[in-house]
Amino acid sequence: MKIVFSSMTSKTHFYPLVPLAWAFRAAGHEVRVVGSPGLTEITTAAGLTAVPVGQDVDLAGHMSAVGEDMIKYVRSLDFADESLANASWDHLLGMQTALTPNLFALMTPDSLIDGMVDFCRTWQPDLLIWEPLTFAAPLAAKVTGAAHARLMWGPDVTTKSRRAFLDLHGQQEPEHREDPFAEWVAWTLDRHGVRMEPGDAEEMASGQWNIDPVPASMRLDLGLPTVGMRFVDYNGPAVVPDWLQKPPTRRRVCITLGVGARDSGIEVIGTEELLEAVSDIDAEFVATLDAHQLESVARVPDNVRTVDFVPMHALLPTCDAVAHHGGPGTWHTAAVHGVPQVLITHGWDTGERGRLSEEAGMAVSLPVEELTVERFRESIVRVLEDPAFRAGAAKVREEILSEPAPTEIIPVLERMTAARKA
Q: What is the pLDDT of residues 154-182, one digit of tens each?
A: 999 999 999 999 999 999 999 999 999 99
Specify the length of the chain in residues: 422
Residue 5, C-beta contacts closer than 8 angstroms, at least 6 positions apart: 17, 20, 21, 31, 32, 33, 34, 48, 128, 129, 130
Per-residue DSSP letters for 259-317?
A: HHHHHTT--SS-HHHHHHHTTTSSSEEEEE--HHHHTT-S---TTEEEES---HHHHGG
Residue 42, C-beta contacts closer than 8 angstroms, at least 6 positions apart: 9, 11, 14, 236
Is the distance from CB of 153 to CB of 350 less than 8 angstroms?
Answer: no
The per-residue pLDDT for 283 is 97
pLDDT, tens digit (0-9, with 9 covering 90-100), for 326-351: 999 999 999 999 999 999 988 888 98
For the segment 282-298, the average pLDDT, to the nearest whole number, is 89
The per-residue pLDDT for 266 is 47
The per-residue pLDDT for 213 is 98
| Of 69 and 208, the one with more pLDDT | 208
Phi-psi region of 152 (alpha: psi -120 to 50; beta: other; left: phi over 0): beta
Strands of the 363-367 sheet, one edge to the other: 304-307, 284-288, 252-256, 321-324, 341-345, 363-367
> Letter for the amino acid at 64?
S
- To the nearest 10°, report the CA torsion of 239, 316, 326, 257: -50
pLDDT, tens digit (0-9, with 9 covering 90-100), for 10-52: 999 999 999 999 999 999 999 999 999 999 999 999 999 999 9
Strands of the 127-130 sheet, one edge to the other: 50-52, 30-35, 2-6, 127-130, 147-151, 210-212, 226-228
Among 78-87, 140-149, 334-343, where is mean pLDDT lowest? Answer: 78-87
Q: Say which CATH superfamily domain 242-402 falls into.
A: Glycogen Phosphorylase B; (3.40.50.2000)
Binning pLDDT at 50, 70 and 90, where does residue 265 land? very low
Global pTM reads 0.94
What is the 8-class DSSP label of residue 247? Answer: P
**In the chain, where does the domain assigned CATH 3.40.50.2000 lie?**
2-230+403-421, 242-402
Residue 366, C-beta contacts closer than 8 angstroms, at least 6 positions apart: 342, 343, 344, 345, 354, 375, 376, 379
Residue 227: strand, helix, or coil: strand
| Of 108 and 77, the one with more pLDDT | 108
Question: 51: which strand partners?
Answer: 34
Among 33-47, 209-223, 266-280, where is mean pLDDT lowest? Answer: 266-280
Binning pLDDT at 50, 70 and 90, where does residue 401 land? very high
| Of 78 and 246, the one with more pLDDT | 246
Average pLDDT of every residue of the chain: 93
For the segment 280-301, the average pLDDT, to the nearest whole number, is 90
The per-residue pLDDT for 83 is 77
Is the distance from CB of 120 to CB of 4 less than 8 angstroms?
Answer: yes
CA–CA gap between residue 166 and residue 344 (Å, rounded): 30
Other C-beta atoms closer than 10 Å to the C-beta of 52 total 18
Does residue 263 register a pLDDT over 60?
A: no
Residue 343: strand, helix, or coil: strand
Q: Is 412 exposed, middle or buried (0-12, 13-18, 19+ CB in 10 A)?
A: middle
Binning pLDDT at 50, 70 and 90, where does residue 258 land? low
Listed residue (365, 366, 352, 363) closest to 396, CA to CA: 363
Phi and psi for 52 in degrees, rounded to 5? Answer: -75, 130
Binning pLDDT at 50, 70 and 90, where does residue 411 land? very high
Q: Which fold has domain 2-230+403-421?
A: Rossmann fold (3.40.50)
Q: How far is CA 227 from the centre of its chain?
A: 17
Listed residue (360, 295, 307, 354) closest to 330, CA to CA: 354
Dihedral sign for Cα 126, 24, 316, 387, please.
positive
The per-residue pLDDT for 269 is 59
